[in-house]
Amino acid sequence: MKALLREMHVWMTAYMKSFYTADEEVMQGIRIKETHTGYVTANMVALAHELGMTEHDTALAEIMGLFHDVGRFRQYSMYKTFNDAQSEDHAALALTVLDELSFMKKLAPEDEALVRFAIKNHNKKTIEPTDDRRALLFAKMLRDADKLDIYRVLAPFLDESHADEAPQFIKGLNSQRVSESFLAALVEGRQADYHAIKTHGDRKVVRLLWVYDINFAWTMRKIVERGYVDRVIHALPHGRELTIGFQKLKSYVAQKCAGQDRLADFLSK
């Protein structure tokens, strides 16, 4: 598995660099995704170690992180956007790219299926139903590893003074007002329909609502340690209903952080 991992890393590094261009605006997006790939891969390995996974399963987790966004690069070259709604589902596109890679067949069929399931479901609102506890575990890990780094990616652009520095795919929404549907979701402590985003305020609330989809206490503790939740709250307007939502969210986060991640629990649920 170690030799295969090296082969995959070498290929992925070259693949990402193949999209380099003299167009600085395009390069801004490519660099973000290139760096994001590295962080998500590292997050997956760290989480696997936290869970006490075997060397084999840690390697699978690493592969999932490495390839989870491989479709983003082709997506941007084809459509000049990272917006799935305006192009195509980047997870599905990632699976198409993986279909073209002969070294994927060096994985055992059951391992390849796990990799594909996790990647397919890393960007969906919910994970598709499955009775395969290992597939569900890896999918949850990848979703957490991805969100943890997306918080890092987006953090600098919460401050309106840095709005002009944001990549083109982040720009486009200006109002700080929070729409009623997102306010209700925050107060009720649930996910919202991302397709209904109308304002920059809505987009910020979505980042808060992500905490309700975090699966591991390890991930939540990292989010808190890095101040991601507090930074988003500070960047939002404060009113009675928003404050109620913030309090509910902070209580949930504290409870999640106090939990323990036992591998056996995730495989038996």
pLDDT digits (tens, 9 = 90+) for 15-47: 999 999 999 988 988 999 999 999 999 999 999
Question: Residue 107: its pLDDT value, please?
Answer: 97
Tell me: the pLDDT tens digits for 146-165? 999 999 999 988 865 545 45
Q: Is the pLDDT of residue 72 over 70?
A: yes
Region 83-96: what's the mean pLDDT?
Answer: 93
Question: Mean pLDDT in the chain?
Answer: 92
Tell me: the pLDDT tens digits for 187-242? 999 988 877 888 889 989 999 999 999 999 999 999 999 999 999 999 998 889 99
If asked whether residues 109 and 237 sit together in one domain, one would say no
Residue 222 lies in a domain: yes
If asked whether residues 40 and 124 sit together in one domain, one would say yes
Residue 159 lies in a domain: no
Around Cβ 128, how many Cβ atoms within 10 Å? 11
If asked whether residues 126 and 56 sit together in one domain, one would say yes
Tell me: the pLDDT tens digits for 122-138? 999 899 999 999 999 99
Residue 231 lies in a domain: yes
Q: Is the pLDDT of residue 49 over 60?
A: yes
**What distance in Å separates the CA atoms of residue 203 and residue 110, rounded to the nearest whole number?**
38
- Angle of CA points 95, 99, 101, to nearest 5°: 115
If asked whether residues 141 and 35 sit together in one domain, one would say yes
Question: Residue 3: its pLDDT value, please?
Answer: 96
Around Cβ 239, how many Cβ atoms within 10 Å? 11
To the nearest 10°, report the CA torsion of 108, 135, 124, 255. -140
How many domains in the chain?
A: 2
Residue 119 lies in a domain: yes
What distances in angstroms separate CA 222 from CA 17, 29, 47, 149, 253, one per listed residue? 30, 25, 11, 10, 11
Q: Does the model's pTM come out above 0.75?
A: yes
Question: Residue 269: its pLDDT value, please?
Answer: 64
Domain interval for residue 111: 2-152
Residue 161 lies in a domain: no
Question: Residue 166: its pLDDT value, please?
Answer: 52
pLDDT band for position 176 (50/70/90)? confident
If asked whether residues 189 and 124 sit together in one domain, one would say no
Residue 52 lies in a domain: yes
If asked whether residues 23 and 143 sit together in one domain, one would say yes
If asked whether residues 112 and 207 sit together in one domain, one would say no
Q: 80 or 186: which carries more pLDDT confidence? A: 186
For residue 18, the domain's CATH number is: 1.10.3210.10
